[in-house]
Structure 1
Amino acid sequence: MTKPCHFVLVHGGSHGAWCWYKIVNLLQASGHKVTALDLSSCGTHTRDAETVTSFAEYTQPLIDFLSKVQDKVVLVGHSLGGVSVVHASEQFPEKVAVSVYIAAAMFPVGLQTQEAEINLVRATESFPDKMHFTFANGVENGPTTVMVRKDFVREAFYHLSPAEDVALASILLRPSPIAAVSKVNFSTSKRGYGSVPRVYVKTEKDRSFSPKEQDIAVTKSLPDKVYSIESDHSPFFSAPQELHQLLLQIAADFCQ
């Protein structure tokens, strides 16, 4: 077995730490330490998404955790969680042995805030007719939260996932604060984010973030390694054993 590592798992939009339950179990059974976090207003976090006013507020639980952790971690982000991983890698490069992006947003070194906002807002427009928006500040001021409609979550995220996992997600998904993607305020540098090894895991059957779009992200961002997995957008449900084995391989390569 490889040296025990500390995996920190960061969920995507509307999800929470709960979505990693299979991966947490598998990694722990393999002898690793695992922390799955809830970002602000997600999972069991008590904050209301309507009150989250910036990306910094949204991702603060991860920043707080890394500011205190003593281990050098394997930082794993899924989907929108990749943005939080990018930001955390920029802030704490000395604490991240490797960052892993699973069907996730991943940016090039030298990114400017405006580019991030444009890319992320575009991501919320993939299937606008399938989204539910709320307008806590009035329609004239734009939406404050967004969530994929419950009748579309299987098609968007889980079309190859077990029915019981789809049912679980349908109960636990929460609205995402629009500010998490429209009020981003960070950049990426060679000394920070650029100094952290990056691995991309491409989901080949993804209907939410298409393989072609993932290829573009990889081409622009140039990770150190790229793996592919035959899964939908949510391999933690549809291909947990395969994802587990990939994470073990990544740990063996970078966490020694």
Structure 2
Amino acid sequence: MSSEKIVLILIFCLSMMSWGHCKDRKHFVLVHGACHGAWSWYKLKPLLESAGHKVTALDLAASGINMRKIDDVDTFAVYNQPLLRLLATTLPNQKVILVGHSLGGLSLAHATDEYPQKVERNVFVSAFLPDTEHRPSYVLEKYGERTPTSAWMDTKFEPSGNKTSMFFGPMFLTNKLYQRSPVQDLELAKSLVRPSSLFLEDLSRQKNFSKEGYGSVPRSYIVCTEDIAIPVDYQQWMIQNAAVNNVLSIKGADHMVMNSKPRQLFDALQNIAN
């Protein structure tokens, strides 16, 4: 065989390997929960990137380093604007995998309802999981009914315009969210959390998420077995209520699974993506 043919075969093989790598590469968009920000994904983001994926961890309005204040964010749509803007500017042939934690599950549903053609899959990580049969606030309302006031510990709730703001206190962070996470992550959270809101007043007035939008995109749920904030039985109830079949479980994970079990969360997302 001539040297020219050998070179051509090598080029062809390399190009096929490269094409296969690009085909398997995903774009993960990580959406944080209430009072948190993009910073909460600092362990997971490099793990996904080291596997060749593109990763965007964003701050929703009045979160992380976003300059808005929660008093100036009157609706959930405004709160979710950074995610909507990201999907609006995503190229038509480049779908993303949305990963939402805690309240971030509502952000996923809202954004997917607006841009279903831009989303390959929604992944709910110990997150509030809405359906298409009830108003968007339904899973939050049911959660409120089963959660006694005392469970919120030192969380502060205050009137804020046409809504109620919420700010996690150090006792709540320690005992309800980060009880199995490294103490360094707890201290980081104490320094970086900001007032947020569940936007119950606004979400209770919005129309149901549509079957043609949010309901048309595949969904996965990652259960965290030691979550005290959103207990396993409530996670399972939401999964059944929304008829989600693709369910994974991470044993020993508290609510902040990205801190307590980052490698296991990475493995679960790899499993879902593949």
Residue 177 of structure 2: aligned partner: 157
Residue 67 of structure 2 is matched in structure 1 by 46
Tell me which residue corresponds to 1:226.
Answer: 247
Shift of 1:89: 1.3
Cα distance between partner residues in 2 of 1:117 and 1:153: 19
- Unaligned ranges ≥5, structure 2: 1-20
Q: Do structure 1's residue 200 and structure 2's residue 211 form an aligned pair? A: no
Q: Choose the corresponding residue for 2:85, options 42, 53, 64.
A: 64
Write the distance in 2 (CA, Å) between the matches of 1:24 and 1:87: 23
- Residues 3-36 of structure 1: per-residue CA shift (max 9 Å, x gap): 0000000000000000001111100000000000
- Please list the CA deviations of residues 50-82 of structure 1 after superposition, one character each: whole Å capped at 9, or x if unmatched: 111111111111111101112200000000000
Quote the Cα distance in structure 2 between the aligned partners of 1:194 and 1:32.
26
The whole-number CA distance in structure 2 between the counterparts of 1:123 and 1:58 is 26
CA contact (8 A) 1:89 1:193 kept: yes
The AA in structure 2 aligned to 1:74 is: I
Q: Does structure 1 conserve the Cα–Cα contact (< 8 Å) formed by 2:128 and 2:139? A: no
Aligned match of 2:117: 94
The residue that corresponds to 1:134 in the other structure is: 158
**Amino acid of the residue matched to residue 79 of structure 1?**
S
Following superposition, the deviation at residue 107 of structure 1 comes to: 1.5
Number of equivalent positions: 247
Against the structure 1 CA distance between its residues 5 and 123, is the aligned structure 2 distance closer, same or farther, given a 3 Å change threshold? Answer: farther
Q: How does 1:103-122 map to 2 (within 5 A)?
A: 103-113=126-136, 115=138, 118-119=141-142
Higher relative contact order (CA 8 A, sep 6+): 1
The Cα of 1:144 is off from its aligned counterpart by: 3.5
Q: Structure 1: which 5+ residue stretches go unaligned?
A: none
Which amino acid counterpart does residue 100 of structure 1 have in structure 2?
V
For 1:163-242, list aligned pairs within 5 A: 163-178=183-198, 180-184=199-203, 185-230=206-251, 231-242=253-264
Structure 2 residue aligned with 1:147, among 156, 167, 171? 167
| Distance of 2:167 and 2:67 partners within structure 1 | 18
Measure how far apart 1:136 and its partner are.
4.8
Give the distance between the partners of 1:125 and 1:17, measured in 2 at CA.
29
Deviations 1:73-110 (A, max 9, x none): 00000000000001111111111111000010112223
The 3 A distance-change label for structure 1 pair 50 and 125 is farther
Partner Cα distance (2:45, 2:175) in 1: 25
One-letter code of the match for 2:259? F
TM-aligned CA distance change 1:63 to 1:15, over 3 Å: same
Give SS of 2:110's match.
helix
The share of aligned pairs that are identical, in percent, is 37
* CA deviation after TM superposition for structure 1 residue 157, in Å: 0.6
Query: How many angstroms apart in 2 are the aligned matches of 1:114 and 1:233?
Result: 21
**In structure 1, what is the Cα distance between the partners aligned to 2:101 and 2:42?**
14
Moved more, 165-174 or 126-135: 126-135
Match of 1:248 in 2: 270
The partner residue of 1:77 within 71, 75, 100 is 100
Pair 123,104 (structure 1): closer, same or farther in 2 beyond 3 Å: farther
For 1:67 and 1:171, how far apart are their aligned partners in 2? Answer: 32
Change (3 A) 1:88 1:170: same
Deviation at 1:188, TM superposition (A): 1.7
Q: Which amino acid aligns with 1:175?
A: P
CA RMSD between the two structures: 2.0
**SS at the partner of 1:170?**
helix
Q: Which letter does structure 2 place at the counterpart of 1:241?
A: R
CA contact under 8 A between 2:153 and 2:171: conserved in structure 1?
Answer: no
- Paired residue type of 1:173: V
1:114: Cα distance to partner? 5.8
CA contact (8 A) 1:39 1:59 kept: yes
Contact 1:121 1:182 in 2 (8 A): no
> C-alpha distance in 2, partners of 1:87/1:221?
15
Measured in 2, the distance between the counterparts of 1:123 and 1:240 equals 29
